[in-house]
Structure 1
Amino acid sequence: MTALPILTIILMVSMLLFIFKVIKREQEIVMRNSEQLYLTNLEQLLHSIRGQRHDHMNHIHVISNLISTEGYKEASSYLKDLRTDIDMNYSLLVLDQPSLIALLQTKREYALISGVELDIIIKNPLTNTPLKSYELVQVIGNIIDNAFEEEINSKKREKKVTITIDSLYNSTIVISVNNINSLIDQSLKKNILAEGYSLKENHQGIGLYTVVNILKKYNGFLEFESDKKSGTTFFAFIPN
């Protein structure tokens, strides 16, 4: 064997090793971002649980004092308002996804703290989704985080995020996330779903790329529409 073919083989092997190294590095970056998402959601969930425990104790003290002072009318009104709040919190239980329930509950608490109105509309319990629970959290969590970031950074007074979980012709799950205060040019459609692309400074732009890759595993896809009147809506389509 001459020196030239040997050199060619060495170069090819070196190139393959380099490619594998790059792929592995990119996978590690995605995993680190996924782990960070879980840690953030877990921290928010723990904060929510502590806050709810503290709130429940306060509610008990208020109701007890109202009854002891014979303020029955005030106690009845207080309980009515409290029931509305409890019904809103427990509306998430229709979902057949405990991890997703935890995620949405933490986002609900985060919305209250951040001054963002959050509307969650559930028309599909997600009993037939092919995604694993952690993948579902990754998909919805990344899209919601982007929507919240846009609303929080907006200078407009009204801030709102709407999450809708629905189905299309009973064959496709459709998860949409709308935020009213952002506008994305359609000419950026290809770029914005690509790895590493971001409209923000010092931002890695991995979140939506991760969402796209997870959906592709199950023959799903991600789309978005954006206009000045209704803001930006991302749609995750998942065949079930």
Structure 2
Amino acid sequence: MKGLQKYIVLFTILFQATIILMFNTSILGTTSLEDLKQNIPFFNVIIVMITVFIVISFKKLGDYETKQAELKLVKTNMKAIEELITLLRTERHDYISHIQAIQAMLYLEEYKELDEYIKGIAAEYRVTSQIIRVGHPALTALLNSKREIVQEKGIYFHIDCRHKIDIIEWTSWELCSLFSNLIENAIEAVTSIIGEKWIRLTMDDQDDSYMIEIENPGQIEQEVIDTLHEPGVSTKDSVGRGYGLHICKKIVDKYSGTIEFKNTKKNTVVFTVRLPRGENNYDTKAIS
């Protein structure tokens, strides 16, 4: 689909150039001013139609790029959720077996073996015990998965959930898409910095609104901040980036929220999202 759109745009541009060439040829070859006047409206209409078609084609091509970025993000989020759900289901299935084994060792008074057995269980399930729960199953899975990925990159990721997220009118993919893009943007920003690498995510409830704040070291130039919402614009000059924050803006606008970026005096960047609580804040005009 993407390749076909590009070929259509290229063909249309070449066709427009051919029409203009034909028009110029007719001007040079005409011997009658009246004949030239009669042909001008025809050529003008053709050129206008082709120009409109090119504009529409470019818009559809841009929409396709955005949809592809959204689809890729959804697939990534779903994989993270599936992995965590599989882990939780597997461990829950094992709980009964472990309880039965512990009960048997207590009955037989095998306390030394019981102590070793419990230590083994504690070591095996240390990841599950560290799971941060934020009130939404899909988001819980995503954030814990992201935390593992970030820490593997040598980045400290602190999650401060002061208020549970229970936005029931949001779809799971929209909520995960918002958080995932904000986190990915922060990861991209801190990866190349020299010094301590960290990301701080805060979730709170302020003035009947959800507040989501993500902070990381670094600074963004003001001219970049002014255009961050536009598709293809990123905090870093890297190929294939720049659609994440545009997707965030679309989702936030859809639910009548706000998203702001600012540099702080602590040499950090703070991205703040505010989302009104309640089920009557849906804005259909924001979907485009």
1:159 aligns with 2:197: yes
Give a deviation string over 1:61-80, Cα, whole Å, max 9, x none: xx98xx96727778778878
> How far did 1:86 drift?
4.2
Q: Normalising to structure 2: TM-score of the pair?
A: 0.64
Counterpart in the other structure of 1:136: 175
Is the Cα–Cα contact under 8 Å of residues 184 and 227 in structure 1 kept in the other structure?
A: no
Change (3 A) 1:39 1:6: same
1:169 aligns with 2:211: no
1:34 aligns with 2:76: no
Q: Aligned residue pairs: how many?
A: 233
> Among 182, 185, 189, which residue is 1:146 paired with?
185
CA–CA separation in structure 2 for the residues paired with 1:116 and 1:216: 30
- Aligned positions of 1:54-69 closer than 5 A: none
> How far did 1:88 drift?
3.5
> How far did 1:99 drift?
2.2
Is the Cα–Cα contact under 8 Å of residues 41 and 106 in structure 1 kept in the other structure?
A: no
Change (3 A) 1:34 1:210: same
Q: Which runs of 5+ in 2 are unaligned?
A: 1-37, 278-288
Is the Cα–Cα contact under 8 Å of residues 184 and 226 in structure 1 kept in the other structure?
A: yes
Give a deviation string over 1:161-213, Cα, whole Å, max 9, x none: 1111223311x22211111x221133432123322223323344221122112
Q: Normalising to structure 1: TM-score of the pair?
A: 0.75
> How far did 1:235 drift?
1.0
> How far did 1:17 drift?
2.0
Change (3 A) 1:127 1:75: same
Counterpart in the other structure of 1:70: 112
- Name the SS of the counterpart of 2:275 in structure 1: strand
Change (3 A) 1:194 1:5: same
> Among 189, 212, 215, which residue is 2:252 paired with?
215
Give a deviation string over 1:1-42, Cα, whole Å, max 9, x none: x65444444333322322221111111111111222233334
Is the Cα–Cα contact under 8 Å of residues 161 and 203 in structure 2 kept in the other structure?
A: yes
Greater Cα radius of gyration, structure 1 or 2: 2
- Name the SS of the counterpart of 1:191 in structure 2: coil
Aligned-pair Cα RMSD in Å: 3.9
Residue type of the alignment partner of 1:126: I
Q: Which has the higher contact order (CA 8 A, sep 6+)?
A: 1
1:194 aligns with 2:230: yes
- Name the SS of the counterpart of 2:112 in structure 1: coil
Change (3 A) 1:40 1:133: closer
> Among 268, 271, 280, which residue is 1:231 paired with?
268
> How far did 1:82 drift?
8.3
Q: Which runs of 5+ in 1 are unaligned?
A: none
> Among 163, 185, 189, which residue is 1:124 paired with?
163
> How far did 1:238 drift?
2.0
CA–CA separation in structure 2 for the residues paired with 1:23 and 1:167: 38
Counterpart in the other structure of 2:218: 182
> How far did 1:139 drift?
1.4
Identity of aligned pairs, percent? 23
